[in-house]
């Protein structure tokens, strides 16, 4: 199936099999990328992570045709002397490791800054020193707030795309004040991007930076108390899924007025594969990877998810499907937010000829079908248990 001979890159050159060191391979994005690499390419993967639950199905020995093409290394990159050796063994390193849950940004700002900046430093250093290519995963949060959000509420310029569409090579990165600790994540991510870029400029590091815009799909995040901590607060899609599974109202933070764009994980992984296999076109670039056609307010997302979940589960919606909460109540002190996140797609389209395909309705249907199949029974059991006094 993964026949290297007939595969060519965007310029018609044969694609040579490579070894990829994937840091954070056991996460949501990593698991989908490993699947894609093993089923559709001849490449080898050195999968590094602390957990491997989401890639267990890929590690079963002797049952699949890719045995020997994936090796799992249980590593915490914070303090592991094996890291440089594994980067040296590979042709390309992909760094996906991060704390990337908004609920942590202002409650665990130190962990957030260390995880996203300090812990990523050795990875960049080892790639640069050993002349290894790096694909570094950043975030759309590096853009912060749009220029338009500073205009008067009634300004017609708020409707002008040049005030809100986010462009990799032009848009500024605008964050809130220091006491708004929500920006600890975006700021750490921006600084590591600047460092990667500087390594490229000064020391010739071959790099690509990826800025994901809300990638959505099966295996995303966790359902609190089922496959994650009971007191945890995952990102918006898993939060809403959790409420739907438990037949609770969906909590809309500050009225759910923030606007977001959502992209299906399988579309996004296609873009990453193009970056992996077309280094001449991807090196030195920062890429937005999102779907500008799938824009909704968080309130609209909640309404759509309620409708889609009723369809896939066969259960009617509850009487009051949503409830408004303040950001202080939900996230704690120091929370702030981006108003809109719409990616400009010019650069990725020009360099890699890539466009996302899946509509918001279809990606929600696929994801919620998976969530319902995977979790509905477990949630029913958990919620029906008598509580010990």
| Residues carrying an active site annotation | 185
Alpha helices in the chain (DSSP H): 28-40, 56-59, 82-89, 102-105, 109-116, 121-129, 183-203, 236-245, 265-277, 279-282, 298-313, 327-331, 346-352, 360-384
Lookup: tokens for 46: 């050195």
Q: Dihedral through CA 331, CA 336, CA 342, CA 347, nearest 10?
A: -110
CB contact set of 7 (below 8 Å; sequence gap of 6+): 14, 15, 41, 42, 277
CA atoms within 13 A on the CB side of 289: 31
Axis crossing angle, helix 236-245 with helix 298-313, rounded to the nearest 10? 40
Contact between 46 and 72 (Cβ < 8 Å): no
Distances (CA, A) of 284 to 39, 198, 221, 275, 388: 28, 11, 30, 11, 57
């Amino acid at each position: 199936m993964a026949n290297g001979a007939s595969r060519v890159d965007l310029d018609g050159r044969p694609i040579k099999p490579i070894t990829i060191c994937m840091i954070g391979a056991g996460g949501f994005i990593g698991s989908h990328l490993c699947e894609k690499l093993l089923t559709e390419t001849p490449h080898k993967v050195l999968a590094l992570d602390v957990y491997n639950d989401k890639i267990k199905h890929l590690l079963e020995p002797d049952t699949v045709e890719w045995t020997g093409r994936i090796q799992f290394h249980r590593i915490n990159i914070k303090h592991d002397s094996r890291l440089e050796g594994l980067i040296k063994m590979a042709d390309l390193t992909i760094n996906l490791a991060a704390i990337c849950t908004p609920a942590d940004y202002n409650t665990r700002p130190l962990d957030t800054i260390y995880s996203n900046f300090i812990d990523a430093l050795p990875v960049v250093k080892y790639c640069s020193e050993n002349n290894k290519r790096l694909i570094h995963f950043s975030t759309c949060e590096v853009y912060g707030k749009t220029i338009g959000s500073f205009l008067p509420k009634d300004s017609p310029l708020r409707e002008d795309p040049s005030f809100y569409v986010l462009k990799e090579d032009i848009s500024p990165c605008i964050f809130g004040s220091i006491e708004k600790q929500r920006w600890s994540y975006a700021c750490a991510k921006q600084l590591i991007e600047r460092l990667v870029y500087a390594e490229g400029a000064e020391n010739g590091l071959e790099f690509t930076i990826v800025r994901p815009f809300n990638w959505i799909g099966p295996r995303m995040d966790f359902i609190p108390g089922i496959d994650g901590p009971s007191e945890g607060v995952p990102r918006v899609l898993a939060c809403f899924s959790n409420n739907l599974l438990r037949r609770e109202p969906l909590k809309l933070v500050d009225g759910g007025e923030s606007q977001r764009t959502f992209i299906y994980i399988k579309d996004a992984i296609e873009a990453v594969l193009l970056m992996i296999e077309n280094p001449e076109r991807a090196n030195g670039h920062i890429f937005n990877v999102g779907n500008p056609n799938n824009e909704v307010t968080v309130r609209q997302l909640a309404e759509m998810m309620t409708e889609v979940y009723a369809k896939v589960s066969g259960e009617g919606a509850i009487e009051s499907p949503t409830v408004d909460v303040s950001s202080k109540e939900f996230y704690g002190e120091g929370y702030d937010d981006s108003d809109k996140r719409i990616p400009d797609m010019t650069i990725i389209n020009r360099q890699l000829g890539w466009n996302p395909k899946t509509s918001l309705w279809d990606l929600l249907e696929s994801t919620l079908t998976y969530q319902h199949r995977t979790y509905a029974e477990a949630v029913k059991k958990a919620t029906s248990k008598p509580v010990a006094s």
